[in-house]
Structure 1
């Protein structure tokens, strides 16, 4: 009996060791995600803990996390079964920052200056109420039916849409929110942030300060084939750099977002797996190279870098609710972490619908807008310069000129020039569970 127990104990320890080695690193990512998302929801979006736990963090294994919340420090510490504590601390103007052992609470974190303006104009160029307008070419009954399709009925919990906003010729045709959300609620855009990052390069190019077709010029790439990578290759995600974009496993993207303190600089080490301009590969790491070390080179100081995003784009077009969060190094996480109200996300779409012009202010050159919506080599018409495209007919019943900002779990800003439309849909489920083709074709089909 004792010998049998001995073998059993050895077997148990082998199993424990196996699972410890295999899954313990994942705890770091799980608790990192849980603490970071909870802190952003509580202190940036002013959500309550219960709704964040049940909804935003309500999927396996994130829903196993437990939380300690410090209202004075504005921090959230998450753990899993008492293991692997991870803390995120909220900093005004910078959002929730996932910290590590190098964090110094006494250290000053520079924040961007904001450039708020008060306009006496109606939305979208101000915040006054729009005048009632009826367009004879719009089938309002069909439009309302298409919007209603986006939301769950009764006890259903399938589509999980939180907001839909339809804007036609600068006029709001429909604005609908689920319970607990409204026009003042900040929503996490996830990878829609990539389109903001791309636009910063469009602003610089419009100002004559950068040529996107020039070499990226990363010092660590100078002595190998990566030296041939251009800024354009990075913007179009066909640089040939290795990357694994998988959110439900330990992967390049989860390790970057929840383990790295300087997300952009850490991705410079990625090796080539293909020739530049010949291998399209969706990569949050590539975007953070753009939003971090590459963009910082354009400025004399860190403060100028921080201010640029708001002064030259975000506040310039009145997206005053928007906050782009930073990592521990102070770099914007341009791949994933912008928050804004539904209306402010729509303003970004309208900037592109109007070919870079914002009420007379040419923020972007019209050629940039065309470039952003031009298919990348080997993307099969699906991707431009950090925008998703319908050029290849991926959504068969939607106009081919539609392009969009897309984010994790179903965040969308759709731009449809041929219909003079911008449509925003925000929620917790993405295509194909949320059928974009049916939803968007219903809206575009309501305009004759």
Structure 2
């Protein structure tokens, strides 16, 4: 009996350690973090990971067909794919659009952990009253957390994305309606008031410079939009993949990270704190009150959380695979939403790399 067990165990070990067997070690090795300065960034090849080289060109062809400017995959922090299209390069800045909302999320968490704000407090505690055109009793219902979760109740259709006080009118009581709106940007004003620093100064010192990003905030479409290189977007994705830590430095505390990347309210299960969440049982989309069944990106990993911006600016983060995927460019199709059929087709082609 013991001999039989020995032979079975030996056979099992031989099969699993043989040259043709390629166990996935990506989830057990430590993450790599690139230096804060310079262009050095460690890489891994498709063959290093045991991925399917034949799936690479169809993916690149699709990205180019769909008006992409850049595409980057990190695994454990290492660059596995980095491709540029249509005259774009590693040193070219491009806008994040609404994918940059998640930068505001991170700074909100940092300001809270430093004791400057409390996200459960009223926005008017920091900005004063009349920051909206709502009746005072309705305005006083709106907390910073309502801005983080898109549940402020402010009118989201009639006044467009304008955020001047006169355009911030009442639609519903805070916390009772999920609706996508640029009013979240008021959190930047909250942070500036609470810290006594400009938004740019606080952002640069507490986040950008600590993880080696480049970039700048610029006004665009009634909003403050971030522009950076693709690698800088990937640096932020790597920070979030590691739950707010950069090497051994806690930039954003893990408890806030966890709250930001899980369902934040019961109106849109696929929304955290300005992060989109895959793998939930239902979701809602911008400019709509319809609820759809199933996962936002059916062929995407269920544990994926996402920063999604106009014209298909994407940060996909997949903890189970220790993977960050970045796409920057023009709109994949004629429509310009943060989410489109492009996402699911793209993930079918990404899946082909490692399935």
Q: Work out whether 1:219 is the aligned partner of 2:121.
A: no
Match for residue 93 of structure 2?
Answer: 186
Task: Tell me which of 272, 282, 302 is aligned to 1:384.
Answer: 272
CA distance in 1, matches of 2:351, 2:37: 26
Secondary structure of 1:396's match?
coil
Q: Work out whether 1:325 is the aligned partner of 2:207.
A: no
Q: CA deviation at 1:222?
A: 7.8
Match for residue 271 of structure 1?
Answer: 169
Structure 1 segment 22-421 matched on structure 2, within 5 A:
123=34, 125-131=36-42, 133-134=44-45, 137-141=49-53, 144-145=56-57, 147-152=59-64, 159-217=66-124, 218-220=128-130, 223-244=136-157, 252-253=160-161, 256=162, 264=163, 266-267=164-165, 270-284=168-182, 286-292=183-189, 294-300=190-196, 302=198, 305-320=199-214, 322-326=215-219, 335-392=223-280, 393-421=295-323
Contact 1:287 1:335 in 2 (8 A): no
CA distance in 2, matches of 1:359, 1:268: 45
CA distance in 1, matches of 2:94, 2:70: 9
CA distance in 1, matches of 2:96, 2:180: 17
Contact 2:70 2:82 in 1 (8 A): yes
CA distance in 1, matches of 2:58, 2:268: 28
CA distance in 1, matches of 2:237, 2:219: 23
Match for residue 344 of structure 2?
Answer: 437
Q: CA deviation at 1:306?
A: 3.2
Q: CA deviation at 1:243?
A: 1.5
Secondary structure of 1:228's match?
coil
Match for residue 248 of structure 1?
Answer: none
Match for residue 15 of structure 2?
Answer: none
Secondary structure of 1:435's match?
helix
For structure 2, the residue ranges without an aligned partner over 5 or more in a row are: 1-31, 281-294
Which whole-Å deviations, capped at 9, do the CAs of 1:52-71 have from their partners, x for residues lacking one? xxxxxxxxxxxxxxxxxxxx
Structure 2 CA distance for partners of 1:160 and 1:301, relative to 1, 3 Å: closer
Structure 2 CA distance for partners of 1:147 and 1:367, relative to 1, 3 Å: farther
What TM-score does the superposition give when structure 2 sets the normalisation length?
0.76
What TM-score does the superposition give when structure 1 sets the normalisation length?
0.61
Contact 2:64 2:85 in 1 (8 A): no
Structure 2 CA distance for partners of 1:404 and 1:131, relative to 1, 3 Å: closer
Equivalences, count:
298
Structure 2 CA distance for partners of 1:208 and 1:389, relative to 1, 3 Å: same
Match for residue 19 of structure 2?
Answer: none
Q: CA deviation at 1:175?
A: 0.6
Structure 1 stretch displaced more, 347-356 or 219-228: 219-228
Structure 2 CA distance for partners of 1:232 and 1:397, relative to 1, 3 Å: same
Which whole-Å deviations, capped at 9, do the CAs of 1:228-250 have from their partners, x for residues lacking one? 111111111111111129xxxxx
Structure 2 CA distance for partners of 1:415 and 1:377, relative to 1, 3 Å: same
Secondary structure of 1:219's match?
coil
Contact 1:193 1:334 in 2 (8 A): no
Structure 2 CA distance for partners of 1:179 and 1:300, relative to 1, 3 Å: closer
Give the number of the structure with larger relative contact order, counting CA–CA contacts within 8 Å between residues 6 or more apart: 2
Contact 2:43 2:80 in 1 (8 A): no
Contact 1:214 1:230 in 2 (8 A): yes
